[in-house]
Structure 1
Amino acid sequence: MKKHFLINLILFCLFITVKSQSQTIDTLVDVGNHKIHFKIVKGKGAPILFDAGGGNDGSVWKSILDQTSKITNATLITYDRAGYGTSTIDTLQTDNSKHGIISSIEDLETGLKKLGYDKEILLVSHSYGGYLSKLYASRHPKLVKGVVLIDVNHNYYEDGYIEKVLATQDKLIPQWKKNNKGTYYMASNILETVKIMSKISIPQNIPVVDFVNGIPFLKTTEEIERWKECHRNYVANNPNVTGITANGCGHGIWMGNPPLVITTIAKLYASTSNQKAEIQKRALQYSIIACNEEKAQDLAFNNSDDDLNTWGYQLLGKNENQKATEVFKLNMLLNPTNVNTYDSYGEALLKIDQKEEAIKMYKKSIELNPKNKNGKEVLERITKDNSKLLN
């Protein structure tokens, strides 16, 4: 996964003129015998709701909320389903079936209504969270303005596949029952969930972007191909769906490629907003800087002294000594103040029997760092060897 640690700093400077969206509401909402935790970044217009995957709470979206807020100016809502994060669970209800997917969607609806966000909305969901997006859109087709699905399940677990998954979880369910109520109830009800969701779909008038991973999280070829085929079929059978394969990304696509997901959310949101031009402009600015920064990181990675040094030693390990020498020489020329580059280049020169040049490299490394003990020892040894040969 590529690092994007400089992007936030650069984009902070770029968007400093954008009105701050830093006001955050962190609250527990009573939904009947238990409470659901919501976190809201205040903004304008229709809100964007983020629904986490199975086993995760709303905090999983933290890495992309700041830039999404700056670009869209929208209110952003994350939440924890019952039994996850700081959300509680209805302990008075002992029937497992009452803690299933329908209970989850009713919790969400009640919470959004109490918070005043039961009107127009855009949905973003990951994995199991896609079930909630599909349910919400099917129950509120006139309110949902668009949906971004991130590597969600499209009928994958039908035709006996869910039974195969459950067979691998028999030993885990008792442990979840004790330590993780949210996951326990999700697993206990997954057969019924799959059955319910096989009959549910997002209305075709709602625009959808469907992401699928580029690095499979499933294990066997059969499973991987089935997952991809389910996504291909979903896109092919729904004219208002745009399919995107996130190259180089695993299941958590927004973590593997933040700009890809952020700009996609922004583009879909802009298409539903009366601030379309402004949002698109900010999204374009962000995309340009993010793309340029990623390229800079690639160059830094490919040409950093550590990476070139590692590459050189990998070649030495394969006895490709001449190639290693060229890599170490390049590293020395690119990083002339780094003592280690001279040591490494000298070591490679010895491998191809260029002792005179090696001596020069070790002398240079000692000149840059008089405390270079290894360089002194090697230089003393090869100098003695040279003297013996001359005599």
Structure 2
Amino acid sequence: MKKFLLNLSLLCTFIAANGQSKTIDTLVDVGNHKLHFKIVKGKGTPILFDSGGGNDGSVWNSILDKTSEITNAPLITYDRAGFGQSTIDTLQTDESKHGIISSIEDLEIGLKKLGYNKEIILVSHSYGGYLSALYASRHPKLVKGIVLIDVNHNYFEDGVIEKELLKQEKLIPQWKKNNRGTYFMSATIRETVKIMSTISIPQHIPVVDFVNGIPFLKAPEDIERWKECHKKYVANNPNVTGITANDCGHGIWIGNPSLVITTIAKIYANASKQKAEIQERALAYAITANNEEKAADLVFNNSEEDLNTWGYQLLAKNENKKAAEVFKLNLTLNAGSANAYDSYGEALLKINQTEEAVKMYKKSIELNPENNNGKEVLERITKDNPKLLN
């Protein structure tokens, strides 16, 4: 089992806790719909965070406190139309009016109403990189630095987006009904890719470009294309620093928060009059974070969670027999763990040892009667063969 955001008088604003709160949550009217912004208050140049496709601004919550402590900057996260707490213009049925240009115009209106339409630092992930590139190209004198986290660059060009859309065909009716933000993003992605093929971040803007160390794509040719797009971007832009985030997947700030936080701090410091102070705070944080990470590693290594994670990494690579052996070892070392039995059962199903898998799931449910996942799996695999329950 896997464990795993002005003038405030113009807005209807909810300030978390009280008037002295450090965080503001607000809905900003951008025309026929509203965008939700979360603002961690601060001084100086604001830092805007743009999330990946399908995500809202809350994905950045885990790194906001430390980033705020180091930079003292206003931090802005937001939900694009149709995501999180932001609404969407349901009267506008023309899909083309819900594309990337609509998104950037929404953002520009929101930032202007909030009073943040001046100098700014951008941080973006995946699809959000399109918004950073668009904003920088439209406001080249205002953007003072950008941190790109595993963004798309030109990956979806040359017909690749067509292949991706084929994979999404079955999901589109469900998105149209239950997830309008994702639906319109998918419905306009061809035009987005076409538009972004003509847009680039002005080369005078300093950029750090992160690429994952653990590929989230599956096919070798897709993985290589993703890496190559990042290599070309760095090679063709003298003001860009490329960093491979070792041992990190697509959400690099989750896999290595200190790496991303200190990088944001460096970009921010270079654009700030308080450069020395910010760098000193960033260094102190980096030292502490590194030491705490090592301490956490000592606890994690060879623990039940460590072995469980290893097993699932093997399953993700279709190395199912090896995964089963790791889960079996975990079970031997943690015989009282319902989770260990559940994970071993999952691996046994992968290698067609169904009868033994049933035993593992039954034991897991015995140890943890609230294991609904185990119950659902057990019901599914014994539906056509009730004798397995005996």
If the TM-score is normalised by the length of the shorter chain, which range does it land in? 0.7 to 0.9
Which amino acid is 1:80 matched to? D
C-alpha displacement of 1:295: 1.2
Contact 1:156 1:227 in 2 (8 A): yes
Query: Secondary structure in 2 aligned to 1:162?
Result: helix
SS at match of 2:151: coil
> Over aligned residues, Cα RMSD in angstroms?
2.3
Amino acid at match of 2:81: A
- Describe the superposition over 1:340-390 as per-residue Cα deviations: whole angstroms up to 9, x where unpaired: 9xxxxxxxxxxxxxxxxxxxxxxxxxxxxxxxxxxxxxxxxxxxxxxxxxx
1:230 aligns with 2:229: yes
Aligned identity (percent) is 81
- Aligned to 1:85, the other structure's residue is in SS state coil
Alignment of 1:173 onto 2:172: yes
Q: Which amino acid aligns with 1:230?
A: C
Superposed counterparts of 1:1-391, under 5 Å: 23-302=22-301
SS in 1 for 2:45: strand
Kindly provide the amino acid, as one letter, of the partner of residue 169 in structure 1: Q
Structure with higher Rg: it is: 1
Report the TM-score when normalising by structure 1: 0.73
CA positional deviation for 1:60: 0.5
Deviating above 4 A after TM superposition, structure 1's stretches of 4 or more consecutive aligned residues are: 303-308
Deviation at 1:299, TM superposition (A): 2.3
Say if 1:296 and 1:199 are closer, same or farther in 2 by CA, change over 3 A: same
**Partners of 2:61 and 2:306 in 1: how far apart?**
31
Q: Aligned partners of 1:301, 1:105: CA distance in 2, in Å?
A: 42
Distance of 2:304 and 2:94 partners within structure 1: 61
Q: Distance in 2 between matches of 1:307 and 1:132?
A: 37
Q: CA deviation at 1:296?
A: 1.4
Q: Deviations over 1:104-145 (max 9, x none)?
A: 000000000000000000000000000000000000000000
Q: Please give the alpha-carbon distance, in whole angstroms, between the structure 2 residues aligned to 1:304 and 1:245.
A: 28
Deviation of 1:242 after TM superposition, in Å, equals 0.3
Q: Distance in 1 between matches of 2:185 and 2:170?
A: 15
Deviation at 1:22, TM superposition (A): 5.4
**Secondary structure in 2 aligned to 1:125?**
strand
> For each residue in 1:292-313, what CA deviation from the matched residue of structure 2 results, as whole angstroms up to 9, or x when unmatched?
11111222334769989xx9xx
| Structure 1 residues 141-179: Cα deviation after superposition (integer angstroms, max 9, x where no partner) | 000000000000110000010000001111111110000
Asked if 2 retains the 8 angstrom alpha-carbon contact of 1:126 and 1:152, the reply is yes
The alignment of Structure 1 onto Structure 2 pairs a total of residues equal to 296
Q: Mind listing any 5+ residue stretches in structure 1 that lack a counterpart?
A: 4-20, 312-316, 319-323, 325-330, 332-339, 341-391
User: Compared with structure 1, are the counterparts of its residues 303 and 162 closer, same or farther at alpha carbon in structure 2 (3 Å cutoff)?
Assistant: closer
Instruction: Give the secondary structure class of the aligned counterpart of 1:163.
Output: helix
Which AA in structure 1 matches 2:151?
V
Q: SS where residue 141 of structure 1 aligns?
A: coil
Cα drift, residue 281 of structure 1: 0.4
Does the C-alpha gap of structure 1 residues 110 and 33 become closer, same or farther in structure 2, counting only changes over 3 Å? same
Question: How many angstroms apart in 2 are the aligned matches of 1:25 and 1:305?
Answer: 40
Q: Is the 1:22–1:41 contact (alpha carbons within 8 Å) kept by the matching residues of 2?
A: no
**Separation in structure 1 between the aligned mates of residue 287 and residue 72 of structure 2, nearest angstrom:** 19
Which letter maps to 1:210?
A: D
Residue 283 of structure 1 deviates from its aligned partner by 0.3
**Per-residue CA distance 1:2-50 (angstroms, 9 max, x = gap):** x9xxxxxxxxxxxxxxxxx951110000000100000000000000000
Residue in 2 aligned with 1:389? none
- Going from structure 1 to structure 2, the CA distance change for 1:304 and 1:222 (only over 3 Å counts) comes to closer
1:385 — aligned with what? none
Separation in 2, partners of 1:103, 1:304: 48
State the TM-score, normalized to the length of structure 2.
0.73
Once residues 27 and 271 of structure 1 are traced to their aligned partners in structure 2, the CA distance between those partners, rounded to angstroms, is 30
Distance in 2 between residues matched to 1:303 and 1:267, nearest whole Å = 35
Return the alpha-carbon distance in structure 1 between the equivalents of residues 286 and 87 of structure 2: 39
Specify every segment of 5 or more residues in structure 2 that has no aligned partner in the other structure, as ranges.
4-19, 311-323, 337-390
Give the partner amino acid of 1:65.
L
**1:76–1:221: structure 2 CA closer, same or farther, 3 Å change rule?**
same
